Structure 1
């Protein structure tokens, strides 16, 4: 049997990107710091991520908790995402100003990693994503 004859079958047997995203663990960006520790090395999707800064290779995702009933400031969490593709170009163009509008409200998939060594934090964990892909709302 020749490989080219199997190619159409193999391509239809592979899951679509949407199916792969559905199989990953989903974490609200604001909960990432407390929920991601047991997921180091696993692929996850951050939901409710507001992009506020990006370069071609990295993006900063903000997670905001719902506003408290007593009008105190909601908790804010940052997640550094090292991008796998040039998705940061669009993010940099649309989201550089830091506005928390719908255009920059995205989901981001990537592999959870401890980035503390890159920042000289030693024993203190700083979790982020590598091989990140931005899932735009459009």
Structure 2
């Protein structure tokens, strides 16, 4: 358990629902970063592990599944797809169905000015709940 009271996952997610919940826990712990995968991606100022820095929603999904915000996986992209189809940016859904278009759409939503960590966590949790109902 961390100082924040949020327990660390004991195993890697195996389903989209678990990946979405894991990403929500990660963002609740490290915070939402806008504009790039993680804060100070090129380590110009920070020297902490990237998995401990504020990160984007897509990076949090990668991190939840692989332990690394830069390492994509099929499960992380499946969770990105689930989330992308729930979000609207300027009243529009994703412009394409490829993994890049879906990830870009999710990060566009996360990069909206004024977007908070709390709102990103809430959306991830709601998407996880919806996966649980559908399963």
Q: Of the two structures, which has the highest relative contact order with CA contacts closer than 8 Å and spacing of 6 or more?
A: 2
Both structures adopt the same fold (TM-score exceeding 0.5): no
Instruction: Name the TM-score, length of structure 1 as normaliser.
Output: 0.28
Which protein is richer in helix relative to its size?
2
Higher strand share: 1
Q: Return the index of the structure with the highest Cα Rg.
A: 1
TM-score normalised over the length of structure 2: 0.28
